[in-house]
Amino acid sequence: CTTENKDFSALKAEFDAAGVALLGVSKDPPAKHGKFAAKYGLTAPLASDPETDGLADALGIWVEKSMYGKSYMGMERTTFLVDAEGRIAQVWRKVKVAGHAAEVLK
């Protein structure tokens, strides 16, 4: 998520000019987000969603994953474009980071 947020942060002025507000969401607490943003100079805002049945659950992005044969819960890298009326206009699931921010900006 570091590279992805850096990419969105680098294009933030262009998103702002297009009238698009950015918001990254994770289960991490706000204090951790603050340290993360400061460490990498990130400008795309981050929201904390630690609650069970919160936004990540409602959007279906808090999913079971596996690595090295072990299962765990984690965020599925997903981007939602929400239109001016608050409707989801487009969804990118299982995002590959390289070039993704520029693709969303288009």
β-pair partners for 90: 81
Instruction: Write down the catalytic residue from 1, 13, 21, 23.
Output: 1
The yes-or-no answer on residue 57 being catalytic is: no
Please state the φ and ψ torsions of residue 45, each to the nearest 5 degrees.
-65, 155
β-pair partners for 106: none
CA dist 97 → 6, 57, 60, 100 (Å): 10, 22, 19, 5
Task: Retrieve residue 33's tokens.
Answer: 């987000």
Residue 80 CB burial class (10 angstroms; 0-12, 13-18, ≥19): middle
- Give the residue numbers marked as catalytic: 1
